Amino acid sequence: MSELTQYAILFALAVGIVGLVLSLYALARAIGRNKPEPGKDVPATAGQLSRDPVWVRYHARYYGYALLFLAFDMEMAFMYPWAVVYRQEGLVALLDMGVFLAILFLGLLYGWSQGALRRQ
């Protein structure tokens, strides 16, 4: 099968799952409808609407990790093609990526020493 067919299969699968879910919803609707009653639609906060609004900004206390995560995630974009040709390229590939990873790892150690690996 060609690559295009594979992706067509994946797309059809996604559409099929959505169709399955919609038919489940239709089945549930056919069994019975919701009865509108007061207090039923309050979110699970001890039976009362929460005092403060929920859709507000939250402190991302892991931001030190998050910044390092971005650097490491970019690195993975290079790692995948590198991994595939690794055996062909041999020792050169190991040394090339070794230098790259060593620099990145030093960055991690530096971040650690500066207290980035801590919930702020």
Q: Provide the binding-site residues for other proteins, judged by CB under 8 A.
A: 1, 3, 6-7, 9-10, 13-14, 17-18, 21, 24-25, 27-28, 31-32, 34-35, 40-45, 49-50, 54-55, 58, 60-62, 65-66, 68-69, 72-73, 76, 79-80, 83-88, 90-91, 94, 97-98, 101, 105, 108, 112, 117-119
Measured torsion, CA atoms of residues 96, 98, 103, 106, in degrees rounded to the nearest 10: 180
Q: Which residue has the tokens 């007061």?
A: 38
Distance CA 68, CA 63 (A): 9
Q: Closest approach of Cβ 98 to other proteins, in Å?
A: 7
Q: How far is CA 62 from CA 24, 109, 117, in A?
A: 39, 17, 8
In the bound state with other proteins, the residue whose beta carbon lies nearer, of 50 and 114, is 50
